[in-house]
Amino acid sequence: MKKSYQSFGDNSINDMRQVTYRNLTTRLLFLGLLFLLTFSTSLFSQDADPVKGKALFNVNCAACHSLDKKITGPPLRGVEAKLSDEQGLDRDWIYAWVRNSPAVLKSGDTYANKIFEEFNGTAMTPMPQLSDEDIDNILAYTATEKVIPPTPDLGTIGATQSVEGGISNEIILGALAILFMLLAIGLYLVNKTLRRFAVAHAVEIPVVEKSTPLWQAFVKNQFLLLVTAIFFLLTSGYFAFGYMMQIGVDQGYQPVQPIHFSHKIHAGDNKIDCKYCHSSARVSKTSGIPSLNVCMNCHKSIYEYNGETTAEYNKEFYDSEIKKLYAAVGWDDDEQQYTGETQPVKWTRIHNLPDFVYYNHSQHVTVAGLECQICHGPVEEMEEVYQYSPLTMNWCLECHKKTNIKTEGNAYYTKIHEELSKKYDLDKFTVRDNGGLECGKCHY
């Protein structure tokens, strides 16, 4: 999945590194505005590097500027040409604006003030750290033509899927079935022909005397009957037990959610830390379903999906899911402001522990330092999340029995661990040794 960086990389929006810079909004805005006011292409310096420019853009500008869409700041594609053509502003003006926009505003520059008003007085953060060369590079990047994202090759994907799926297997099975049928018909025909020959040649076919049918013999044999009955009962008992034990165990439970949130894209492709969104897992008993304002930290500027798609989950599909988010949180993407009309999302809960079990995420995540994947499985590969673990008591206890407590660096355990290891000669200190199998530790 890493390749998405390269293949679709020309649209930086997909690069989640910008998340780190989300707080720099205002600072970045100024930079973007500067680009808007840039000079004409004629001044385009020949040695400017759009690849370097893209990197700089992603780091410094992308939180507020998109190439093609007005977000916090204006779109920047072809900004230099536009400024030069429409406003007659040259590259020096852009340099000045990027490095110190308040000064430009103060100087009474007409266009600067006009654009400042247009964006409701949102100031663009000055970026004095950018050199002329950096700005040139960024401008080179903004001057690149829009590349229409390649539509996924449906044929290839279909073929790949069919290999993974059962289609070819079915064909093989079908072919085999036909083959066997043909063989059976052939044999029957041969037999029939041979009999005809035998009758025709008056060959005596010895009649096999019918012995007692097998089932009658079976019924008469009391011992065999008993053994079979016992065997049958045991087997059905075994399966019944297996079935019963599955009741209430929802391993693999994969409900359809009101918004198709792809953990694969977020945690997999973009490598967002689980605890960025599920932040309460660090301090609380619940991992917490992220509130929608957390989504908007990124999705304020990520308004479309430009990653890898499949036939089922294409760009339109994902874009419409982002629209659902906007509807729920009450974000007007055109006006770039909140409407205040919210519709809380009713997610379907996947991991349901019974009421009588107390489970605390922070105990496992923060204190024990466990990876989320240990219980939740490869979430970063799940398009839709399902329950990976059975969440049965046995499953909990198995882990408690063999897992060592992370005592290093935790002053709480130091004394207890010392005393225990002295007394019982333990070098390993499992959850069990700390009373992790006691009923009351989880049931209260």
| Interface ranges with other proteins (CB under 8 A) | 247-248, 250, 253, 255, 280, 283-286, 288-294, 328-330, 342, 344-349, 352, 354-356, 358, 360-363, 366-367, 409-416, 419-420, 423, 434-435, 438-441, 443-444
Residue type for position 358: Y
The H or E element that residue 338 is part of is: strand 337-338
Q: Residue 236 Cβ, how far from other proteins at the closest point, in Å?
A: 16
Closer residue to other proteins (CB): 197 or 347: 347
The whole-angstrom separation of Cα 41 and Cα 57 is 18
Closer residue to other proteins (CB): 149 or 290: 290
86: three-class secondary structure by DSSP: helix
**Spatial CB neighbours of 252, under 8 Å, sequence gap ≥ 6:** 386, 387
Closer residue to other proteins (CB): 1 or 259: 259
The whole-angstrom separation of Cα 281 and Cα 287 is 4
Q: Residue 212 Cβ, how far from other proteins at the closest point, in Å?
A: 40
Residue 32: closest CA among 4, 67, 3, 6: 67
Closer residue to other proteins (CB): 44 or 338: 338
**Is 101 within 8 Å of 124 (Cβ atoms)?**
yes
- Residue 328, number of CB atoms within 10 A of its CB: 18
Q: Residue 27 Cβ, how far from other proteins at the closest point, in Å?
A: 23
Q: Residue 355 Cβ, how far from other proteins at the closest point, in Å?
A: 5
The H or E element that residue 139 is part of is: helix 132-142
Closer residue to other proteins (CB): 102 or 288: 288
Closer residue to other proteins (CB): 40 or 389: 389
331: three-class secondary structure by DSSP: strand
Q: Residue 263 Cβ, how far from other proteins at the closest point, in Å?
A: 16
The whole-angstrom separation of Cα 223 and Cα 20 is 77
Q: Residue 245 Cβ, how far from other proteins at the closest point, in Å?
A: 12
